[in-house]
């Protein structure tokens, strides 16, 4: 009789990152996003971020017919909407990549339309502080915010996502999570920490340092885009920051 192979843990990257946070305290602030270019501040609890991710996952599966392992291209900056979009992609088992060639879905900003290539579904992420979509998307594109809004706030997976499935640039679910957890340890980030970061979420290192490591540690993130160095110290006090990461 042939020996059984290793058992594959069936859980998505989003389950690994958000599950413990939601079970511990879904209502606590998880991402606080500042944009010093327009003076906006947006705060999302774990539950709210999970809702955006669930809507994205439902849209990808039900409208885009995305299957586990299918590539989703992301050309997005550090932003709370980016967090919702990526976590939604991982929730339904997508493989997030940084090139549009061969991708089933491409997620881009309005200033990076050319990066979307010829993906069957091309969606613009507005980066609006309040989550509003584009009233008139460019020809050949849909508006991500408008598309996902009609979908459910909860995601129930119909296909299991094994731990050895590709999740980010060829790295598996388990590898991405392990890398994020290890990086959190290197940065000294734990469950009680509130991390102020100015790191852009370039794939894969910037995303790992700026978002995934914080989530893996079950900390909370204060991200400052277009940061004004003169206000960071005061903001750290206001937001009760306990750790800093500046890329």
Measure the CA–CA gap between 222 and 42, rounded to whole angstroms. 10
Strand order in the sheet with 171-172: 142-143, 121-124, 105-108, 71-75, 95-97, 166-168, 171-172
Residue 124 falls inside a structural domain: yes
**What tokens were used for 2?**
């042939």
Range of the domain at 114: 63-154
The residue among 86, 88, 83 whose CA lies nearest residue 98 is: 86
Question: What is the pTM assigned to this prediction?
Answer: 0.95
pLDDT for 2 beyond 80: no
CATH code of the domain containing 115: 3.40.50.980
The residue among 64, 76, 79 whose CA lies nearest residue 113 is: 76
Residue 89 falls inside a structural domain: yes
Residue 149 falls inside a structural domain: yes
Tens digit of each residue's pLDDT (9 = 90 or more) over 79-125: 999 999 999 999 999 999 999 999 999 999 999 999 999 999 999 99
Beta bridge partners of 56: none
Residue 8: predicted pLDDT: 59
Q: Find the mean pLDDT for residues 46-70.
A: 98
SS3 72: strand
Tens digit of each residue's pLDDT (9 = 90 or more) over 170-182: 999 999 999 999 9
* Number of continuous H segments (helices) and E segments (strands) in the chain: 8, 12
**What tokens were used for 177?**
């999570």
The domain tally of the chain equals 1
């Amino acid at each position: 009789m042939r020996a059984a192979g290793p058992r594959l843990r069936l859980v998505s990257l989003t389950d690994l990152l958000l599950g413990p946070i939601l079970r511990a305290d879904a209502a606590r602030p998880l991402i606080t996003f500042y944009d010093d270019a327009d003076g906006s501040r947006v705060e999302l609890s774990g539950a709210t971020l999970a809702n955006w991710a669930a809507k994205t996952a439902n849209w990808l599966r039900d409208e885009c017919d995305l299957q586990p392992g299918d590539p989703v291209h992301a050309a997005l900056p550090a932003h709370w909407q980016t967090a919702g979009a990526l976590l939604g992609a991982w929730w339904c088992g997508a493989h997030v990549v940084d090139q549009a060639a061969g991708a089933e879905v491409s997620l881009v900003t309005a200033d990076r339309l050319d990066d979307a290539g010829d993906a069957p579904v091309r969606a613009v992420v507005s980066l609006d502080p309040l989550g509003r979509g584009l009233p008139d998307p460019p020809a050949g594109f849909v508006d991500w915010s408008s598309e996902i809004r009609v979908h459910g706030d909860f995601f129930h997976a119909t296909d299991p996502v094994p731990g050895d499935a590709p999740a980010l640039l060829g790295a598996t679910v388990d590898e991405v999570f392990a890398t994020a957890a290890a990086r959190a340890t290197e940065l000294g980030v734990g469950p009680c920490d509130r991390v102020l970061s100015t790191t852009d979420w370039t794939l894969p290192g910037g995303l790992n340092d700026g978002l995934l490591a914080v989530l893996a540690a079950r900390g909370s993130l204060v991200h400052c885009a277009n940061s004004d160095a003169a206000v960071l110290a005061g903001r750290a006090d206001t937001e009760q920051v306990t750790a800093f990461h500046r890329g």
